Amino acid sequence: MTPDIKGFLLAATVKIVVVFSVWMIAIMLATWLERRGSAFMQDRLGPNRVGPAGLLQPVADGLKNFLKEETWPKWVDQPLFLLAPLMSFIPSLITFAVIPFAAPLPGFDFTLPLLGRFTYQGPIPMVVADLPIGLLFILAISSLAVYGIVLAGWSSASKYSMLGGIRSSAQMISYEIALGLSVITVFILSGNVTLSEVVAAQQRTVWFVLALTVAFVLFLVSAFAETNRLPFDLPEAEAELVTGYHTEYSAMKFSMFYVAEYAAILTMSALIATLFFGGWDIPFTRWDEGPPSVARCAATLLAFGTKTGFFLLFYIWVRWTLPRFRFDQLMELGWKVMLPVALGYITVIGLVVWGAERVGVALAPVLIGLNLVATAGLLWGLDRGRLLAGARARRAA
């Protein structure tokens, strides 16, 4: 085996082990953050007994779920009943493999006793798998998560679980369309579907949250629906479905669905940061675009973690602030509002980009001005005189 192949295998192995170990710890801590955050919003304490500030509470909960007795309802389809939690968890985990999380590290060349020489020519990309179709890979793999929820509902032989599975199939498929359409404008501006190139395009121009604000709003709303989070948690609406598709699950199989949910939240938060907020790009400086170094890698990793953590907190804030939609409202929003808006927005952005190239004007200022007007119009149209205009009318009265 040549030193180059050994170096490549070493770099890939280290990235896989480190990234997914840190990712699983982050998922565990996200459950603690959710409980502490909700307690803060409701003026209570939350987990505070197991470990400092309750930090070991997720470990205690995991140990409890491993030791709990498994229950098997009489009429379940056992193979599918076992497969469903894995089909929910695995897609939400492996989609993070194509998200770049820091600036590249410099290559290496060293020799170890007995193992020989290891070399890696050029910079080491800080992404587990830098696929040339990274964003398409995420859309394809994340869509498989719906099968886990649907199979969980169908295989449980329970009416409550079945209703949760049916709701999930309708909800997730509907919002996958809006999610996919919202990122087409990102393709138009970046000219590439590789996530590292999307980050590079934002470094050269502006963050896409400024140039594609409407796409960001559509993607954000669709991300909430895709991860089954409030106000779109209709597949597991406790007041209506007795927890829905996982009603018949217990012990670690039950816990796997929640682990999958938090894994999907973290992945979506990282994807929002990458697509619309420059990924690992540090704002207001070009220092991070210099030659690969450990300092640049660490600084950009901190920037990426800060952006991802912000959207994780935003998920928690929304869950404990907004009430749940009715199911007809959920479907109406997806098909009657988000789908037409996404299609119209693709057309407008395509025409603006084409016109700017023909005329020879700077594209970024035009898109920023257009998106200010479009976002204001979209929010005003969605409001329909209920919140903004309604509050103003009540104040005047």
Each residue of 343-383: pLDDT tens digit? 999 999 999 999 988 888 888 889 999 989 988 888 887 77
Would you say 215 and 183 are in contact if contact means Cβ atoms under 8 Å apart? yes
Give the pLDDT of residue 163: 83
Residue pair 76/266 in contact (Cβ under 8 Å)? The answer is no
| CA proximity to 266, closest of 178, 149, 105, 142 | 142
Dig out the tokens for 21 from the structure: 């170990």
E strands, 80-222, are 102-105, 108-112, 116-120, 124-126
Give the Cα separation of 318 and 224 in Å (integer). 9
Task: Provide the pLDDT for residue 295.
Answer: 92
DSSP state, residue 245: G
Q: Which residues of the chain have pLDDT under 50?
A: none
The residue assigned the tokens 């989070």 is 229
Axis-axis angle for helices 363-383, 213-226 (nearest 10): 50
Beta bridge partners of 117: 111
What is the bridge-based pairing of β-strands 108-112 and 102-105?
A: unpaired
Would you say 227 and 263 are in contact if contact means Cβ atoms under 8 Å apart?
A: no
Angstrom CA distances, 222 to 164, 229, 322, 338, stand at 19, 10, 16, 9
Say whether pTM exceeds 0.75.
yes
End-to-end CA distance of the chain: 81
pLDDT at res. 314 = 93
What is the phi/psi pair of residue 161, to 5°? -65, -40
Give just the sign of the alpha carbon dihedral 175, 177, 180, 182.
negative
Inter-axis angle of helices 159-182 and 213-226, to 10 degrees? 160
pLDDT at 397: 67
Q: How many CA atoms lie within 13 A of 219 on its CB side?
A: 27
110 strand-pairing partners? 118
Of residues 82, 378, 70, the one with CA closest to residue 216? 378
Contacts of 299-306 spanning 24+ positions with Cβ under 8 A: 299/103, 300/102, 300/103, 300/126, 301/101, 301/102, 301/126, 304/101, 304/102, 304/270, 304/273, 304/279, 304/280, 305/101
Longest dimension (CA), the chain: 84
Q: Could you give the angle at the alpha carbon of 376 between the alpha carbons of 370 and 382, nearest 5°?
A: 130
**φ and ψ at residue 116, rounded to 5 degrees:** 90, -160
Percentage helix, strand, coil for the chain under 3-state DSSP, each rounded to 5 = 70, 5, 25
Rounded to 5 degrees, φ, ψ at 112 are: -115, 145
